[in-house]
Amino acid sequence: MVTSMAWVVMPDHLHWLVELRQGSLAELMCRIKSRSSRSINLMLGDSGQRWQRGYYDRALRRDEDLRAAARYIIMNPIHAGWVKRVGDYPLWDAIWV
């Protein structure tokens, strides 16, 4: 079980702040990559690889600010120069909004 706190889908990667309640991050990432690849390939009529092997993770310490981490995540499209405001980018969400 996972609690999703913030996410943004970029053209070539995903940022996702989650709280794992059971299972492992490796299992979660395997499921996400498998299911999304299958859906994308069905939509495109393709069978290509959609994700790189592995993933990058960063564990937050208890004293770190979750909202600051979420802000960093959802600000990625602005930092990339694609939009001027968070609301102008369609592929994101956060539980504090």
For the segment 77-90, what is each residue's pLDDT rounded down to a tens digit? 999 999 999 999 99
- In sequence order, what are the residues at sequence separation of 6 or more whose Cβ sits closer than 8 angstroms to the Cβ of residue 60? 66, 69
> Could you tell me the domains of the chain?
2-48+61-94 (3.30.70.1290)
Q: Pick from 88, 85, 74, 97: which is nearest to 14 by CA?
A: 74
pTM of the model: 0.82
**Exposure string over 14-29, b if 16+ CB within 10 A, otherwise e:** bbbbeeeeeeeeeebb
Distance CA 59, CA 61 (A): 7
Residue 68, φ and ψ in degrees, nearest 5:
-65, -40
In the chain, the percentage of residues whose pLDDT exceeds 70 is: 100
Contact indicator for 37, 51 with CB cutoff of 8 Å: yes
For the segment 15-47, what is each residue's pLDDT rounded down to a tens digit? 999 999 999 999 999 999 999 999 999 999 999
